[in-house]
């Protein structure tokens, strides 16, 4: 299997043929300062070339999500659920960075530079998704749902491609979080009066199975997170994730 997995989903081909806008590093929705992380002790085990490439790719793919959501939160006047999910994506990035440090790898790009990526395909993807989401709030919400569908598919591929228990645990937690994010976006699309959500990358059956089941709880230390349907962290008001 390609080490890049599905770097560019077929569903986005038409989007990426549009003229890319020069949004990289435009300053809107600047990313939050990364939290101070405790020192991570390197491990003696090594990763295969595929595992290492996947880990670095997932670091930037999660940041595409964070940076897009930060931009949309600013553009659409703090409409839910962008800010809450952007915070969750930062946790996803942090969990992957812990593994990057443990295995002596180098971060592929500077996470403080909003919208600037080392992977050229992810850079084009980011630029095109920003352009698409500027049209309407519903378009931006559908971009968010698409990002989560692609992330789910890539995380499932990453899990299938490794027998490393450290990586499997992190990817499983991120996968749980991405399913919650998809639930939140679909709920908000419907709340905003959008049509019934149509899958953009996964099968319709897979999407339906996700959005009709309750929000999941995860280990926030490893990138898992709980999201209510409006994009806030789970609290006293039902993390059951019922659709509106």
pLDDT in 10s for each residue of the chain, 244 residues:
444 445 444 444 443 334 333 333 444 455 666 655 555 555 547 899 999 999 999 999 999 999 999 999 999 998 999 999 999 999 999 999 999 999 999 999 999 999 999 999 999 999 999 999 999 999 999 999 999 999 999 999 999 999 999 999 999 999 999 999 999 999 999 999 988 999 999 999 999 999 999 999 865 445 555 444 344 443 323 333 333 3
Among 139, 200, 204, smallest CA distance to 13 is for: 200
Please report whether residue 244 resides in a domain.
Answer: no
What is the CATH classification number for the domain harbouring 197? 1.20.1260.10
Please report whether residue 234 resides in a domain.
Answer: no
pLDDT at 35: 59
Please report whether residue 164 resides in a domain.
Answer: yes
The C-alpha atoms of residue 57 and residue 35 are separated, in whole angstroms, by: 21
- Beta bridge partners of residue 233, listed in sequence order: 227
In a 13 Å sphere around the CA of 179, the CA atoms on its Cβ side amount to 23
- Beta bridge partners of residue 227, listed in sequence order: 233
Please report whether residue 138 resides in a domain.
Answer: yes
Please report whether residue 230 resides in a domain.
Answer: no
Q: Please state, in angstroms and as integers, the Cα–Cα distance from residue 234 to each residue in 23, 114, 154, following that order.
A: 32, 27, 25
pLDDT at 2: 45
Count of domains for the chain: 1
Please report whether residue 161 resides in a domain.
Answer: yes
| Domain region containing 100 | 10-31+45-222
pLDDT at 26: 45
Please report whether residue 37 resides in a domain.
Answer: no
pLDDT at 8: 47
């Amino acid at each position: 299997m390609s080490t890049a997995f599905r770097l560019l989903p077929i569903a986005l081909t038409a989007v990426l043929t549009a003229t890319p806008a020069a949004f990289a590093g435009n300053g809107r929705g600047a990313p939050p300062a990364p939290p101070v992380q405790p020192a991570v002790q390197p491990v003696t085990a090594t990763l295969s070339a595929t595992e290492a490439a996947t880990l670095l790719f997932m670091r930037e793919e999660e940041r595409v999500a964070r940076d897009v959501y930060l931009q949309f939160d600013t553009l659409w006047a703090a409409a839910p659920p962008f800010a809450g999910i952007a915070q969750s994506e930062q946790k996803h990035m942090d969990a992957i960075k812990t593994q990057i440090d443990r295995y002596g790898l180098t971060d592929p790009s500077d996470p403080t530079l909003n919208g600037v990526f080392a992977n050229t395909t992810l850079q084009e993807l980011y630029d095109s998704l920003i352009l698409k989401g500027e049209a309407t709030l519903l378009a931006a919400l559908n971009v968010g749902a698409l990002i989560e569908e692609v992330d789910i598919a890539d995380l499932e591929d990453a899990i299938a491609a490794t027998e490393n228990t450290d990586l499997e645990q992190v990817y499983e937690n991120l996968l749980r979080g991405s399913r919650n994010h998809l639930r939140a976006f679909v709920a908000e699309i419907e709340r905003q009066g959008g049509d019934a959500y149509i899958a953009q990358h996964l099968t319709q059956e897979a999407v339906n199975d996700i959005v009709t089941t309750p929000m999941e709880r995860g280990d926030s230390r490893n990138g898992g997170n709980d999201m209510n349907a409006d994009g806030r962290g789970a609290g006293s008001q039902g993390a059951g994730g019922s659709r509106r």
